[in-house]
Every structure is written in structure tokens, then in C-alpha cells.
Chain A
Amino acid sequence: NAGVTQTPKFQVLKTGQSMTLQCAQDMNHEYMSWYRQDPGMGLRLIHYSVGAGITDQGEVPNGYNVSRSTTEDFPLRLLSAAPSQTSVYFCASSYAAGGDTDTQYFGPGTRLTVL
């Protein structure tokens, strides 16, 4: 299994541009989530999904959209990039939200800089 994969690894955007961060997992996990991590800080939850077709907001959802059309993919869209969105973005997945098998597996991250 490849686990959780994220693309791209690095991205530089100009203010106002839009882009999509890709996340995919091949473990048939139902639960997927996006976090951002600012320098020297812990991770903050942006959006999450408990299954295909179901998404919900996390702690810091403003400026981001998500959709979950398949179990495997959970893309994160930046609608109009702002310098405040400069961060490292991590995608995570787990077998289920809650229950005995909800250990989350994290991807390698996407390092985004907005100029």
C-alpha cells in the first residue's frame, strides 16, 4: 500500500490564485481530514469527511473548500489564496471516525507559500 499520498510536495502561489491540493489513500479508509500547520505550531483541523459524499468543517475552514466524491480521494481547494494561508498542509485518513480502529495515518505534507 502507498498509504496516504499528497501532491504537490511544494507550491508557490500569488495572492488571489486558486489551486487544489490532492490527497489520496489506498487503505479503504472512510474518514479523511485536512490539517494545516504553521511554523512552530501544532496542527489545526480544516475540513474532514466521514465518508464519500459527506464533509464537514473543522477548526479553521474559511478560505477552503472540500468534496468527497470517492472513498480514495479528498481534495482541498483554495478559492483565492492569501498570504495567511502560507503553511504546511497535511492530509490524514483512518478506517473510521470513532471505534477501535480510528488511528489516523498522515501524508507527507504539501508546503504552500502564498506571495
Chain B
Amino acid sequence: DAKTTQPTSMDCAEGRAANLPCNHSTISGNEYVYWYRQIHSQGPQYIIHGLKNNETNEMASLIITEDRKSSTLILPHATLRDTAVYYCIVRSRAQKLVFGQGTRLTINP
């Protein structure tokens, strides 16, 4: 059974913030939320991960709701190079990465 639910596709204008939602209503206390992306046919690229608190790095911000049942990945100033499939993955440290279908994000000029 899928642990996460993501929209199949989204569009965003270049220069605007891209907000990608992810539902993970059955997340356990020891499970992290990971985000990876895959740019056209390349290998997946790690973006960010978090447990409870919001996280930010040079690529993105991760906002996790207080009940941890959903999260949002934010790309603050999207560029055309951010067009990719974005995967939200829930896993504990001992579990393997399991990729779902992801969200196909298209950045429009």
C-alpha cells in the first residue's frame, strides 16, 4: 500500500514559488519525510528530508504539519530547470526508499 499521496501533475510560473503537497496520513512516529526529484531520464536527486520540524536547505523548504499527516515542499523561486518529477517518500531509517508515481512539476516561462 502506498504510504503517500501526491497530485499527478502541477504547473508553476517561472520565478514564482512552487508548492508541492504530499499526504501521508498513516505516517509512524519514527518515519521521516523525504523528497527526491528526477529530471528527465536522469537518476533521482535528493532534495530534503525532515521528521517533525520544518527544514530548509539551499534547494528547498519542507513544511510538515503539526500532526505530521501532510507536508509541502517549497521551491521558493522556480526556474525552468526545476521541471521534474518530484517524489515524496515516507520511511524510517531502517527502511528502504520506496518510490511512488510522484508529481510531474512543469515550470512555465
Contact = CB atoms under 8 A, between A and B. Distances in A.
A108 B43 contact: yes
Interface string B24-44: 000000000000000001111
Given A88-B41, A107-B43, A44 B99 contact: yes
Nearest to B102: A42
A92 interface: yes
Contacts of A59: 98
A45 B96 contact: yes
B81 interface: no
Contact of B93 (A43, A90, A98): A98
Nearest to B43: A106
Contact of A42 (B49, B94, B96, B100): B100
Contact of A103 (B46, B94, B98, B100): B46
B54 interface: no
A58 interface: yes
B42 to A, nearest CB: 6
Interface residues of B, number: 17
Contacts of B101: 41-42
Given A42-B87, A42-B102, A104 B97 contact: yes
Interface in B88-109: 93-94, 96-102
A94 to B, nearest CB: 9
Interface in A73-114: 88, 90, 92, 97-99, 102-109
Contacts of B99: 35, 42-44
Interface residues of A, number: 25
Interface string A36-59: 000001111100100000000011
A103 B34 CA distance: 9
Nearest to B44: A106
A86 to B, nearest CB: 15
A71 interface: no
Interface of B: 41-46, 49, 87, 93-94, 96-102
